[in-house]
Amino acid sequence: MLKKTMSAAAALAVGSLALTACGGTSSGADDASGGGGDDTITMGFAQVGAESGWRTANTQSIQDSAEEAGIELVFSDAQQKQENQIKAIRSYIQQDVDVIAFSPVVETGWDAVLLEAKRAGIPVILTDRAVDSEDDSLYETFLGSDFVLEGERAGEWLVENAEESDVDGDGDVNVVQLEGTTGAAPAIDRAEGFADTIASDDSIEVTASQTGDFTRDGGKRVMESFLNSEDGIDVVYAHNDDMGLGAIEAIEAAGMTPGEDIKIITVDAVKDGMQALVDGKINYIVECNPLLGPQLMELAEQVVAGEEVEPRVVTEETTFTQDEAAEVIDERQY
Ligand code: GYE
């Protein structure tokens, strides 16, 4: 039996589709999906990648919860490429798993492969990110955050703190936005929720916006270029902590003080982000909960048992100021 300690190996594996089964005893013809053998549920999970602290915590939660629930997990890491996820899903269909779960790297382009799963009689659960499809019979449920709400929460803080955020005091709050992966639900929705909310205040404007692909390196690179091309940046709005942390490096390298000379708002609230918030380098974080594993396993059990499940399960989340982060940082698990 292989163990679930394979994030790095799995990251390489999907290219060759050497998918790794773990945590259980059955596979292929012996598993529950084959109609005979034991009752162990086999789940094929197609993860986005390992792009951020959020993703690492999410993967850990899924692997731990599968083990706890006695669900055999076949896990793959798509390295943020849609074609790798499609290959992984096709392979799960071929293996005749009991249930497929995945976190779609981008919103569109899934109908064909989801139809293949449907025709094979394998239920699909979306987790973390949504697909943009007219046909909602292609999946059983979508478990994850409300990303529009997260963007709105980021915007609300800025509207409430517009005066202090006009760092250069010129009457305009100039925001540069570090977008997540182009075409990904959280990038689209976090931009939309933010834009709609800051529209209520004429002084706030997004003056530049580019993707940093949800990575620290991406955030650093894009911020360096913004610092060269944009005058009077007051605020960075980063679609995740990792890009915000990359921006901090770029701001410091340019001889400025992040959190003071330029205010920073991010989304996620993973440990490194929370530490930067406590240290005063980030000003506000909107939480996005990565610990989806327990709910995912519960939904999988229900779906495999043929039970009705809610079509949408929304994760509960909060927000953190610097003071609020200081209170909880010690207990933060991820
Ligand atoms: O915010 C980001 C990650 O899909 C909610 O993906 C997730 C996002 C998360 O890379 O850090």
Provide the H-helix boundaries in 41-130.
Answer: 53-69, 82-95, 111-119
Question: Comparing C-alpha atoms, which of 175, 242, 240, 238 is closest to residue 204?
Answer: 175
Model pTM greater than 0.85? yes
CA atoms within 13 A on the CB side of 284: 22
Tens digit of each residue's pLDDT (9 = 90 or more) over 257-274? 999 999 999 999 999 999
The rounded mean pLDDT for the chain is 91
Tens digit of each residue's pLDDT (9 = 90 or more) over 42-84? 999 999 999 999 999 999 999 999 999 999 999 999 999 999 9
Provide, rounded to the nearest whole percent, the portion of the chain with pLDDT above 90.
88
Q: Which residues line ligand 1 (CB under 6 A)?
A: 51-52, 54-55, 128-129, 186, 214, 240, 242, 267-268, 288
Cα 318 to ligand 1 centre (Å) = 16
Cα 186 to ligand 1 centre (Å) = 7
3-state SS assignment for residue 24:
coil
Reported as a pLDDT band with limits 50, 70 and 90, residue 37 is low
Residue 161 burial (10 A CB sphere; 0-12, 13-18, 19+): middle
Task: From the CA of 51, give the closest atom in ligand 1.
Answer: 10
Q: Note whether 194 and 232 are within 8 A (CB).
A: no
Tens digit of each residue's pLDDT (9 = 90 or more) over 109-138? 999 999 999 999 999 999 999 999 999 999
Is the C-alpha dihedral spanning 205, 210, 212, 217 positive or negative?
Answer: negative
Q: Which amino acid is at 222?
A: V
3-state SS assignment for residue 43:
strand
Task: From the CA of 239, give the closest atom in ligand 1.
Answer: 1
Tens digit of each residue's pLDDT (9 = 90 or more) over 23-34? 433 333 344 444
Domains of the chain and CATH, by start: 42-145+290-315 (3.40.50.2300), 147-287 (3.40.50.2300)
